[in-house]
Structure 1
Amino acid sequence: MMKHILFTATLLLLSNAMTAQNDITQPELKGHIEFLSSDKNAGRYPGTKANKRVVKYIIKEFKKSGITPYGNSYKQGFTARLRVKKDVAPRPDVNTWNVIGYIEGNDPVLKDEFIVLGAHYDHLGMGGPSSKSDHEGIHNGADDNASGTSALLEIGEKIAANRHLLKRSVLLLAFGAEEQGLLGSKYFTENPVVPLSQIKLMINMDMVGRLNNENHVYMGGAGTFPGGVELMKSLGEPLGLTVFAHAGSVGGSDHVSFYKKDISVMGIHTGGHPQYHTTEDTIDLINFPGQEKVCNYIYSALMKVATTDYKMEFIRQD
C-alpha cells in the first residue's frame, strides 16, 4: 500500500513538473522580470557587467528549456555605438550580443522556413539621452523590455515542449542595444544566421507587461502577410482580448529592421504609459495575469503559422 502511495505521489510530481515546462506561468514570468529589472542589473546597459550577466541568464534559460543554438554558439557578438546627449563627446564603442535560440521544425520542406520570435533585453542603464526622467537613476525597464524578454523565455519554453507539432522552424532572438538605435536587429539582418529569404515572419514583443483593464493588445504590421489582420483579431477573442491589429504602422522597435528587408512582421505591445523611459518603470506595475494572457495569445499566433502550411508572402504596407 505504501509503495502504491509513493508511486502515485511520484507520478503527480512528474506531472506537475511537465506542466510547469509546458505552460506559461505567472510565477515564471515574474521570476524573469525580477531578475532582469533588478537594481543589480542597473538598467541592462550595453557594455556593462550587467549586460553580460543578462546574456548568461538568457542562455541558461534556453538550455533549461531544451532550446539549442543555431550553429556553435548562442551568442552573436557586435559592436554598439552608444547614444549621448547633444554636445557631449562620443563614448567608446562597446561589445554586446544578440542571443539566438533554435527549435527545428519537422516537415522535410517547411523546416527550412523560419519564424522569428524576438524581444530586446537591453534598457537605458542610468538614463542618458533617451530618458524622460528629470533625474539620473536606475532605469529598471520592467515593461521596457524585461516584459518582452520574459515573454520570449516563457513562450520559447512552451514551443520547445511542443516541438513535435512544428512544421516550420523557430528562431528565438533576444536583441542587444535596441535602445541605442535598433542596433542588434540591424546587425542580425545584415549578418543573418539563415538566409533572409527563408525567414517568413518576425514577431516582435516590446512592452507586453501592462495589459489594461479593457484587455487591449496593439500591433503594427499585421497586414504584411496574407490574412494577418483577420487572423490576429480572431485569435484574441477566445482569450478575451480586444486586438487592435493595424495592417501597417510598422515602426518603433526591432521588427523594423526585418521589414526593411522585405520580411513580414508584427510588432506587439500592450500600450504606452507615463513610466516609459523613466525610473518609475518598475515591476510593481506589471500586470502578470494580463501578461500571461498576452503570451498565450502570441504563442497561438506563432503556432498557427509554424505548425501549418499557412501561406506566407511579404506584403508591403505604406
Structure 2
Amino acid sequence: MKNLILSFAFLSLVSCKKEIPTPVTLEKDVTFLASDSLQGRETGTEGELIAAHYIKDRFESMGLSPKGNAGTFFQTFSFAPKNDPHGEVSFRESGNDSLITGTNVIGYLDNKASNTIVIGAHYDHLGMGGEGSLYREGAAIHNGADDNASGVAVMLQLAEKLQNEKYKGNNYLFIGFSGEEMGLLGSNYFTKNATIPLSKINYMINMDMVGRLNEEKALAVHGIGTSPIWGQTVFAANTSFQLAEHESGVGPSDHTSFYLNDIPVLHLFTGQHDDYHKPGDDSEKLNYEGMRMIEDYILAIVAELDNNGKLTFTKTKDESAAVPSFKVGLGVVPDYLFSGKGMRIDGVSEGRAAQNAGLEKGDVVIKMGDSTVVDMMSYMRVLSTFDVGDTTTVVIDRKGEELIKEIVFVKD
C-alpha cells in the first residue's frame, strides 16, 4: 500500500509540473501512449495511471472542464478480478487491496446547448499479455498503438477541433475509457454512474482501432441502424472511404454500453491485422494520414447534424438475438471490413483447426457442413453447433476457386 501511495504522489507531481505544448500531433499522442515505459497500460497498473494523467493534462491544456468525480477529470471504479473468464464483473467499493481500480478520464466542452455528444475511446490495453493476448511466447509488452492509442489520439484532436464556432449546436463530453479489454467496464460504469444526465446525451461516437486504414480506404461503421438519420448522414459526410456499414449497436467495444441505454451510436474501425493483441502493435506501423482522414470524417458527421436537434433512437434488428455460445473455435480472425457473401478470414492462429486444415488469410468461408455461411452471424450460429472432436467440411472461396477442406475441432 505504501508503494501505491508513493506512485500516486509521483504521478500527481509529474502531472502538476508537466506542461504540454500545443498543438500536439496524432503521432506524438500515440508515441507517448504506446511507449514501452507505460508497460501496455493494463487496467489498474501504474502505466495506465500515467496514461490517464497524460489524457487529463491534454484535456486541461485545451481548456476543457473536468467532468469526473468531485470536480476532477477522473471517474474511478473498483472491481474484483474474475476467476471465471466467462463470468461477469461486479463493481465494489474501493479500499480493498484485492480489488482493481480503473480510471475513466472525462473532459467537457460546454456550449450551453440542450444536448451533449459523447466522443469516446478506450485507452487501456493488455499490459504484458495474459488473457486476451494472441502471443504465445511468454510475457511481453503489448503497446496497443492501434488498440487503442489510435482512437484516443483522434479523440484528443477532435477535442481541439470541436471548439470551433461551427460546432456549437451541442455540448461535447470526451471520455477516455478504462477497463475495455476486461469487458467494457469503464463505459458500463459510466452509464450506470453518468456525470451528466443520460437523457441529455444526443449520440455517442466511439473510435476503437482506427490506425490501420488500408490502401482501399475501407472503414467499418457500426451502429447505422441505431438512428434513422445515420444512413443518409454517413453517406453525405463521406468523401474518402469505402464504407462497410453495419446496423447493430452491439459489439465488442464501448459504444455498446450507450446503445443499451437507448442512445444512438456509431463505432468506427479500420479492421484487424496480424499485430492485433500482440507485442507488434507499435506506433510506427500506424497510418497517420488515414487517422487524419477519419478525424475529418467525424467532424463532417457532427457538422451535418449540428442543427438537427436530438436524434431519434432505434433498436437494431439483431439486438434481441443472443450471441451463440461456443464450445470450439475455428482459430481465425474474421475480416470485419468484408461486406461480401460469407466470412472472410483476416488471420489464422497457429495450431488451431483452421491452420491444421490449410485455411489461409483471405479465404472466404461460404459453407460449413450442410449450412451456408452468408455473413458473420450465420458463421457464428453454425460454429456454435459443433463440439470438441467433431469433424466437418468447410467450403471456401480462394481467389475465385471453391475448395473443400476437412476441419477437426480440437480443444483450445
TM-score bin (small chain): 0.7 to 0.9
Matched residue type, 1:219: V
Distance 1:222 1:243 in 2: 11
Question: Which amino acid in structure 2 is aligned with residue 146 of structure 1?
Answer: A
Among 158, 161, 166, the residue aligned to 1:155: 158
- 3-state SS in 2 of match to 1:178: coil
Distance 2:42 2:178 in 1: 9
2:69 matched to 1:69? no
Equivalent in the alignment of 1:140: 143
Structure 2 residue aligned with 1:9: none
Deviation at 1:293, TM superposition (A): 0.7
Percent identity between the two aligned chains: 38
TM normalised by structure 1 equals: 0.84
C-alpha separation between the residues in 2 aligned to 1:69 and 1:268? 26
8 Å contact from structure 2 (residues 30, 283) kept in 1: yes
Q: 1:192: how far off? A: 0.6
Query: Does the C-alpha gap of structure 1 residues 43 and 74 become closer, same or farther in structure 2, counting only changes over 3 Å?
Result: same
| Cα distance, 1:260–1:249 mapped onto 2, change above 3 Å | closer
**Secondary structure of 2:105's partner?**
strand
What is the CA-CA distance between 1:231 and the residue it aligns to? Answer: 1.1
Query: 2:182 & 2:73 partners in 1: Cα distance?
Result: 22
Q: 1:257 to 1:150 in 2, by over 3 A?
A: same
CA distance in 2, matches of 1:210, 1:275: 11
Deviation at 1:204, TM superposition (A): 0.5
Residue type of the partner of 1:150? A
Structure 2 gaps, min length 5: 1-21, 90-96, 318-412
Corresponding residue SS for 1:273: coil
State yes or no: 1:32 paired with 2:32.
no
How high is the TM-score relative to the length of structure 2? 0.66
Equivalent AA in structure 2 for residue 128 of structure 1: G
Does the residue aligned with 1:52 lie in a helix, a strand or coil?
Answer: helix
Classify the secondary structure of the residue corresponding to 1:99: strand
User: Which amino acid in the other structure matches residue 58 of structure 1?
Assistant: I
**Residues 74-93 of structure 1, C-alpha deviation per residue, up to 9 Å, x if partnerless?**
1111114445686xxx9932
Residue 42 of structure 2 aligns to which amino acid in structure 1?
A: Y
Would you tell me which structure has more strand in proportion to its own residues?
2
Structure 1 residues 192, 145: closer, same or farther in 2, change over 3 A? same
Give the equivalent residue in structure 1 for 2:261: 261
Aligned 8 A contact 1:125 1:139 in 2: yes
Residues in 2 aligned to 1:83 and 1:304: alpha-carbon distance in whole angstroms? 43
Q: Does 1:206 align with 2:208?
A: yes
Work out whether 1:167 is the aligned partner of 2:164: no
Unaligned runs of 5+ in 1: 1-19, 22-26
Aligned to 2:246: 246
The match for 1:78 is 77
Tell me, in whole angstroms, the C-alpha distance in 2 between the residues paired with 1:163 and 1:222.
Answer: 27
- The residue type paired with residue 266 of structure 2 is M
Residue 226 of structure 1, aligned match among 206, 225, 228 = 228
Inter-partner Cα distance in structure 1 for 2:73 and 2:165? 19
User: 2:126: which partner in 1?
Assistant: 124
- CA distance, structure 2, for counterparts of residue 219 and residue 250 of structure 1: 12
Q: How many residues align?
A: 284
Quote how far apart the aligned CAs of 1:263 are: 0.9
Shift of 1:233: 2.1
- Which amino acid is the alignment partner of residue 77 of structure 1? T
Does the 8 A contact of 2:223 with 2:247 survive in 1? Answer: yes
Q: Distance in 1 between matches of 2:198 and 2:132?
A: 31
- Give, in whole Å, the separation in 2 of the partners of 1:219 and 1:279: 26
CA distance in 2, matches of 1:163, 1:310: 17
* Local SS of the residue matching 2:277: coil
CA shift for structure 1 position 206: 0.2
Name the Cα RMSD after superposition: 2.1
If you compute each CA radius of gyration, which structure gives the higher value, 1 or 2?
A: 2
